[in-house]
């Protein structure tokens, strides 16, 4: 089942996949167990003439232990999943390492606008550069993306990097990622944003260091 | 409490009203009102199913003219009829696709699941199960079903106004839903808000009746812990609904004002806050899914003991677990908003409460399984569907753990994995639970049995086709396919998933086709089914102590209750059942 996940190409995508795998095996075990028990009971205790059912209301503590103890196991596994998950959430959404590259991405009906600050590293100056639907980043570098939206809510989704964050109008939010494999990946909108929602996508281009330098050179030739 | 004093006296035996209008249209009889809810639910199920058909058609063959559209002449498609405008030469444009899933979700949740599981089941069963002559407030009951009828008409009209029906999802997130220019929908969204608000009003009135009836009109001897689980769960659902819907009704009015009166509650350019809507919506929305889930589970919990000939395992435990789940459902809402831009530090607390909610539901599932142990199990159609609820709900509960984990949800949120998950839970409740209930209580409702062979065919067809449809949807979601997109082929990375999408769609069509078996069985049995005895399943609860169908006043004499509802195969009794109302001197069962 997990082989359906797209290739995993960011520093944290492996952690998210590992969490999904952990949950998958945990719930998979429960699935097999409960269905096996149900099927065995259904076959074993099917109607046969002359047999009388066991009178077992399950009202005493000793009897309820049959469901309370598995319930306790569920609780413990839940806590385990939460503790494991906490670390992953922390790494993706709470703790942001310092940025090597900063961009602003703005969702609008129905495109992603990508704004680079240029060589001076500051937004709102003459060397800013806006691209439509193309996000160029260097591999193995921390990228900060400051998300905003012009009209409605959009959602910035990079499936191969396992990163998703809604972009809200009237608010700026910063997410980060570090890509680990050069290549071109889809950047899509994951929140319904109107009639053109299904056509709202762009590309993430992860460059090797040399390619990235060449791309920067081509964008800002004077510097 | 005697027959002539106390609250029951208010419901002394009246003759049934004569004349079609008073008897079937403006009836105050809870049994007739339940049938009206059932009719509304089945009507909308057809519309909801048709919209699902078009959704799946488009996802399998994006842009292809819908099958059958070629039968209509070219001139028709050139015309400006509603159909020709909605479908462009038979194929589904993105604008219309957005309306389809918006209305599909709205219809299925508010106009199928609730009318069926609360309106029909709650209304029919609560008075019969508590031994009352009718609901506490029969006129209010009539008002609630008619309010739903008005809401239904408004929702139906919304399809046909200029600009068409709402298209911002069943969750109606602003600003998309707040500014007509942004969604290109004008009156459709206004009518959607009005219809949904009226629906809320309808079920609020219904809930008042459920609670008042259960509290005040119980038969002598029917203490709270002798109530059937169905009554408990209907009441818990009513409380959850009442406590959660208020903020959303306020939100709906605010959204309507944003659209019509120029306010900016949710529009940032005017200083508003879009996330406020999401909080209001999901503070209601999560309890709401339990409002549907709980009565669906209750149907299974009523049926399992009857066909296992065993007491329900851990009756009180199940009631307490459901209280716990209901309570927790008020502090999990932000799990729908992990990626929404709310403060990310809130995610883990909500993730913890969400995953914790699996514990009470797990207890319920274990109790259901324990009920089977040591039983004498038979498999008539109601039992098959009840087991279907159990199996399908286990799947839905397990896949929910992925969504509930905030970091896993970063990837899974708004993909088809979520769509698969919530269909496993909602379909389990609505259709497996709903069908289990219909097959089980049809004899009581209509006085005739449904055909069991057709019922079994219907079950296996539905069960297999359901899983063939929704199991692979998890994979499509893991593959990264977003929900609410009209054309997966637009995206290179989704191309490899297309064969799976075709498979899912074909399975969905097979699933829908299988429902014809039910339709035939339903109408055929209504007129020609075998006549039902009072208690065809040899069940214990009070509804089976009166005739099938019950007389207008339900019980010729109000029964006295001596024990809990699930005394199957009790020691000291020759039969393997012991009805709640049968007096028995001495013996352990009498004190249960
Ligand atoms: C014949 C059975 C059904 C099929 C084939 C089906 C199919 C679908 C599909 C494919 C979607 C996703 C559309 C999209 O995101 O583009 C969807 C959405 C949805 N379905 Fe169903 N469905 C069925 C029954 C139900 C039932 C019984 C319920 C609830 C009681 C339900 C509730 C919903 C809801 C709430 C949505 C979300 C709508 C939205 O995104 O705004 N569906 N359905
Ligand atoms: Cu929820």
Average pLDDT over residues B80-86: 91
Q: Tell me, yes or no, whether A200 lies in a domain.
A: yes
Give the pLDDT confidence score for residue B585 in this predicted structure.
66
Question: Is B348's CB within 8 Å of A190's CB?
Answer: no
Across residues B480-492, what is the average pLDDT? 96
Work out the percent of chain A whose per-residue pLDDT is above 70.
Answer: 100
Which pLDDT value is given to residue B361? 94
Domain interval for residue A72: 13-47+57-94
**What are A145's strand-pairing partners?**
A103, A175
Mean pLDDT in residue range B453-473: 98
Q: How many domains does chain A fold into?
A: 2
Nearest to B221 by CA among B591, B587, B568: B591
Query: Is a pLDDT exceeding 70 seen at residue A73?
Result: yes
Please state the rounded mean pLDDT for residues B293-320.
97
Mean pLDDT of B125-146: 96
Q: What is the pLDDT of residue B17?
A: 75
* Residue % of chain B over a pLDDT of 70: 96
What is the average pLDDT across A199-213?
96
- Looking only at Cα atoms, what is the longest distance across chain A? 95
Token pair, residue A130, equals 């806006």
- CA distance linking residue B130 with residue B125, whole number of Å: 8
Chain B environment of A15 (Cβ under 8 Å): 407
Q: Which one of the ligands is nearest to B513 CA?
A: 1
Residue A37 in any domain: the answer is: yes
Nearest to A169 among B274, B377, B484 (CB): B274
Give per-residue pLDDT as tens, B156-174: 999 999 999 999 999 999 9
Closest Cβ–Cβ partner in B356, B363, B408 for A16: B408
Looking up residue A121, the CATH number of its domain turns out to be: 2.60.40.420
Residues less than 5 Å from ion ligand 2, measured at CB? B 286
Which tens digit of pLDDT belongs to each residue from B334-393? 999 999 999 999 998 998 898 889 899 999 999 999 999 999 999 999 999 999 999 999
Shared domain check, A120 and A25: no
Residue A26 included in any domain: yes
For residue B588, what pLDDT is reported?
45
Q: HEC profile for B394-413?
A: HHHHHHHHHHHCHHHHHHHC
CATH T-level fold of B18-272 = Cytochrome C Oxidase; Chain A (1.20.210)
Q: Contact at 8 Å (CB) between B429 and B113?
A: yes
Strand intervals (E) in B34-174: none
* Domain contains A52: no
pLDDT of residue B5: 41
- Bridge partners (DSSP) listed for residue A112: A107
pLDDT at B9 over 60: no
Contacts of A162 in chain B (CB under 8 A): 410-411
- Alpha carbon nearest to ligand 1 atom 27, residue: B427
The verdict on a CB contact (< 8 Å) between B569 and A55 is: yes
pLDDT tens profile B28-71:
999 999 999 999 999 999 999 999 999 999 999 999 999 999 89
Same domain, A76 and A106: no
Residue A138 counted as domain residue: yes
- Residue A2 in any domain: the answer is no
pLDDT at A88: 94
Distance from B182 to chain A by nearest Cα, in Å?
A: 7
Give residue B584's pLDDT. 80
Q: Is residue A5 part of a domain?
A: no
Between CA B357 and CA B355 the distance in angstroms is 5
A206 and A112 both lie in a single domain = yes
Task: Assess whether A78 and A182 both reside in one domain.
Answer: no
Question: In the CATH scheme, what architecture does the domain B302-530 have?
Answer: Up-down Bundle (1.20)
For ligand 1, atom 7, name the residue with the nearest CA.
B52
pLDDT score at B135: 96
What's the gap in Å between B337 CA and the centre of ligand 2?
A: 10
Residues A28 and A109 reside in one and the same domain: no
What is the helix (H) or strand (E) element at residue B523, kind and residue range? helix B498-528
> What is the token pair recorded at A4?
């359906």
Distance B301 CA to ligand 1 centre (A): 26
Domain match, A120 and A196 both = yes
pLDDT at B586: 53
Q: What digits encode the pLDDT tens for the residues B191-225?
A: 999 999 999 999 999 999 999 999 999 999 999 99
Q: Do A93 and B352 touch (CB under 8 A)?
A: no
Q: What is the dihedral of CA B153, B156, B162, B165, to 10 degrees?
A: 130
Out of A87-96, A176-185, B516-525, least confident range: A87-96
B206 touches B238 (CB < 8 A): yes
CA pair distance B435, B538, nearest whole angstrom: 20
Distance in angstroms (rounded) separating the CA atoms of residues B342 and B278: 10
- pLDDT for residue B243: 95
pLDDT of residue B11: 53
Considering the domain architecture, whether residues A205 and A142 belong to the same structural domain is answered as yes
Radius of gyration of chain A (CA): 25
Distance CA A90, CA B14 (A): 66
Same-domain check for residues A23 and A130: no
Q: Establish whether the linkage from the previous residue to B175 is cis, with ω within 30° of 0.
A: yes
Q: What is the pTM of this model?
A: 0.94
Ligand 1 environment, Cβ below 6 A: B 49, 52, 55-56, 101-102, 104-105, 108-109, 112-113, 169-171, 419, 423, 426-427, 430-431, 469, 483-484, 508, 511-512
Look over chain B and give the mean of its residue pLDDT values, rounded to a whole number.
93
| B324 contacts on A by Cβ (under 8 Å) | none
Chain B interface, mutation test: which of A68, A71, A112, most B Cβ atoms within 10 Å?
A: A71
Ranges of CATH 1.20.210.10 domains, chain B? 18-272, 302-530
| Rounded Cα gap, residues A91 and A79, in angstroms | 19
- Asked if A68 and A116 sit in the same domain, the reply is no
Closest ligand (CA of B278): 2
What is the atom index within ligand 1 of the atom nearest the CA of B429?
A: 30
Banded model confidence at residue B12, pLDDT cuts 50, 70, 90: low
Cβ-based contacts under 8 A for chains A and B: 282
Residues of chain B above pLDDT 90, percent: 90
Pair (A25, A114) in one structural domain? no
Q: How far apart are CA B188 and CA B165, in angstroms?
A: 4
């Amino acid at each position: 089942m997990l082989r359906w996940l797209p290739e995993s190409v960011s520093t944290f995508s492996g952690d998210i996949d590992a969490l999904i795998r952990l949950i998958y095996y945990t719930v998979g075990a429960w699935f097999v167990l409960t269905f096996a028990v149900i099927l065995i009971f259904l076959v074993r205790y099917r109607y046969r003439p002359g047999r009388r059912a066991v009178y077992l209301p399950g009202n005493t503590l000793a009897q309820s232990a049959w469901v309370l103890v598995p319930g306790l196991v569920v609780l413990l596994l839940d806590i385990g999943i939460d503790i494991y998950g906490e670390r992953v959430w922390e790494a993706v959404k709470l703790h942001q390492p310092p940025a090597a590259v900063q961009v602003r991405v703005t969702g609008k009906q129905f495109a992603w606008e990508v704004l680079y600050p240029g060589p001076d590293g500051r937004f709102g100056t003459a060397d800013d550069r806006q691209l439509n639907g193309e996000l160029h980043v260097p591999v193995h570098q921390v990228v900060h993306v400051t998300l905003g939206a012009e009209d409605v809510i959009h959602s910035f989704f990079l499936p191969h990097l396992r990163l998703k964050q809604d972009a809200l109008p009237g608010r700026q939010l910063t997410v980060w990622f570090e890509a680990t494999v050069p290549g071109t990946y889809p950047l899509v909108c994951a929140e319904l944003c109107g009639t053109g929602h299904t056509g709202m996508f762009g590309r993430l281009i992860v460059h090797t260091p040399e390619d990235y330098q060449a791309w920067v050179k081509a964008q800002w030739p004077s510097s | 409490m005697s027959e002539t004093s106390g609250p029951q006296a208010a419901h002394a035996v009246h003759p049934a009203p004569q004349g079609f209008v008073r008897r079937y249209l403006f009836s105050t009889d809870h049994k007739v009102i339940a049938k009206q809810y059932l009719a509304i639910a089945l009507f909308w199920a057809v519309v909801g199913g048709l919209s699902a058909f078009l959704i799946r058609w488009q996802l399998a063959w994006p842009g292809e003219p819908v099958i059958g559209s070629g039968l209509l002449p070219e001139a028709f498609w050139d015309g400006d009829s509603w159909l020709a405008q909605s479908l462009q030469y038979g194929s589904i444009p993105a604008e219309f696709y957005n309306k389809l899933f918006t209305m599909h979700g709205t219809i299925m949740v508010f106009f199928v699941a609730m009318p069926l599981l609360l309106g029909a089941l709650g209304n029919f069963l609560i008075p019969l199960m508590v031994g009352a002559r009718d609901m506490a407030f029969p006129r209010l009951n009539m008002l609630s079903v008619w309010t739903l009828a008005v809401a239904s008409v408004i929702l139906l009209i919304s399809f046909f106004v200029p600009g068409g029906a709402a298209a911002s999802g069943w969750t109606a997130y602003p600003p998309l839903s707040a500014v007509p220019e942004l969604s290109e929908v004008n009156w459709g969204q206004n009518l959607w808000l009005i219809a949904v608000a009226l629906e809320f009003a309808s079920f609020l009135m219904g809930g008042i009746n459920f609670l008042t009836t259960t509290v005040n009109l119980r038969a002598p001897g029917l203490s709270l812990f002798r109530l059937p689980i169905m009554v408990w769960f209907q009441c818990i659902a009513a409380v959850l609904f009442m406590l959660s819907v208020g903020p959303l009704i306020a939100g709906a009015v605010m959204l309507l004002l944003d659209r019509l009166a120029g306010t900016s509650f949710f529009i940032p350019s005017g200083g508003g806050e879009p996330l406020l809507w999401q909080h209001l919506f999901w503070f209601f929305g999560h309890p709401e899914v339990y409002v549907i889930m709980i009565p669906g589970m209750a149907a299974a919990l009523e049926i399992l003991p009857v066909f296992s000939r065993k007491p329900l395992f851990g009756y009180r435990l199940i009631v307490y677990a459901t209280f716990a789940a209901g309570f927790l459902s008020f502090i999990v809402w932000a799990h729908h908003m992990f990626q929404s831009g709310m403060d990310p530090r809130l995610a883990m607390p909500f993730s913890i409460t969400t995953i914790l909610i699996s514990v009470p539901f797990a207890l319920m599932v274990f109790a259901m399984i324990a009920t089977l142990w040591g039983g004498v199990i038979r498999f008539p159609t109601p039992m098959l569907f009840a087991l279907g609820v159990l199996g399908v709900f286990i799947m839905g509960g397990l896949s929910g753990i992925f969504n509930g984990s905030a970091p896993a949800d970063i990837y899974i949120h708004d993909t088809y994995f979520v769509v698969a998950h919530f269909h496993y839970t909602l379909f389990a409740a609505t259709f497996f639970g709903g069908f289990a209930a219909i097959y089980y209580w049809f004899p009581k409702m209509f006085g005739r049995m449904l055909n069991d062979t057709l019922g079994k065919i219907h079950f296996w067809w539905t069960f297999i086709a359901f899983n063939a449809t929704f199991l692979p949807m998890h994979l499509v979601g893991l593959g990264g396919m977003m929900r609410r997109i009209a054309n997966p082929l637009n995206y290179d990375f989704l191309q490899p998933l297309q064969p799976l999408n075709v498979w899912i769609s074909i399975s969905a069509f097979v699933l829908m086709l299988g429902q014809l078996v039910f339709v035939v069985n339903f109408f055929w049995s209504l007129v020609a089914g075998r006549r039902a005895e009072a208690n065809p399943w040899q069940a214990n609860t009070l509804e089976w102590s009166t005739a099938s169908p019950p007389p207008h006043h339900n019980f010729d004499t109000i029964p006295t209750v001596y024990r809990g509802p699930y005394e199957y195969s009790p020691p000291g009794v020759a039969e393997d059942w012991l009805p709640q109302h049968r007096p028995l001197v001495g013996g352990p069962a009498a004190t249960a």
